Chain A
Amino acid sequence: MTLGRSAKALRHTMRNLASSLIQYESVTTTFAKAKMVQGLVENLITKTKNADLKSSEVEKLLKIKLVGELYNQDITVPKMMNELRDRYSKRQGGYTRIIKLEPRIGDNAPQAIVELVDSSSREMKFWYIARVVARLELQGLPLDQLTKKNVESLLHHRVDGAKKFRDAVELSKKRWYMNENGKVIKERLENLPRMKNDTTKSGFHKEFTNYTVVPRPNKST
Chain B
Amino acid sequence: MASLPLKNLISLESILPKYTFPSLSSLLPSILQPQSIDQRLIQLGDQLSQNPSHPPPFFHDNGILKAAPKKKVSHMKRRTRLYAPGKKQVKLNNNLNRCPSCGNYKRSHFLCMHCVSEIKKLWKDTEKEQLPQPYIEEFVNPLDEKVLYPGKTERAYERTLRRKEWLVQRPKTLPVEPKTKK
Contact = CB atoms under 8 A, between A and B. Distances in A.
Interface of A: 99-102, 105-106, 113, 121-122, 124, 127-128, 131-132, 135-136, 144, 147, 171-172, 175-176, 190-194
A131 B119 contact: yes
A124 B170 contact: no
B178 A192 contact: yes
Given A128-B119, A132-B100, A132-B101, A191 B176 contact: yes
A144 B107 CA distance: 19
B151 to A, nearest CB: 29
Contacts of A127: 119, 122-123
A131 B111 contact: no
Contacts of B179: 194
A194 B100 contact: no
B170 A102 contact: yes
B111 A124 contact: yes
A100 B103 contact: no
14 contacts: A101-B113, A102-B110, A105-B168, A113-B111, A124-B111, A127-B119, A131-B118, A132-B100, A171-B122, A175-B122, A191-B102, A191-B176, A192-B103, A193-B100
Interface centre among A102, A106, A176 (most CB of B within 10 A): A102
A121 B130 CA distance: 12
Q: Which 9 residue pairs spanning A and B have beta carbons closest together?
A: A191-B103, A131-B101, A132-B100, A132-B101, A127-B119, A100-B110, A102-B113, A191-B175, A105-B168
A95 to B, nearest CB: 20
Contact of A99 (B98, B111, B118): B111
Interface string B43-59: 00000000000000000
B128 interface: no
Given A131-B115, A135-B101, A101 B110 contact: yes
Nearest to B118: A176
Interface of B: 98, 100-104, 107, 109-111, 113, 115-116, 118-119, 122-123, 168, 170, 175-176, 178-179
A97 B123 CA distance: 18
A112 to B, nearest CB: 9
Contacts of B101: 128, 131-132, 135
A102 B115 CA distance: 12
A122 B123 contact: yes
A122 B102 CA distance: 20
A124 B116 contact: yes
Nearest to A191: B103
Contacts of A144: 100
A1 B170 CA distance: 30
Nearest to A125: B111
Contacts of B123: 121-122, 127
Nearest to B99: A132
A101 B103 contact: no
Contacts of B111: 99-101, 113, 124, 128
A40 to B, nearest CB: 23
Given A99-B111, A100-B109, A102-B110, A147 B119 contact: no
Nearest to A99: B111
Given A102-B113, A131-B115, A131-B119, A193 B168 contact: no
A124 B119 contact: yes
A197 to B, nearest CB: 9
Given A101-B113, A124-B111, A147 B103 contact: no
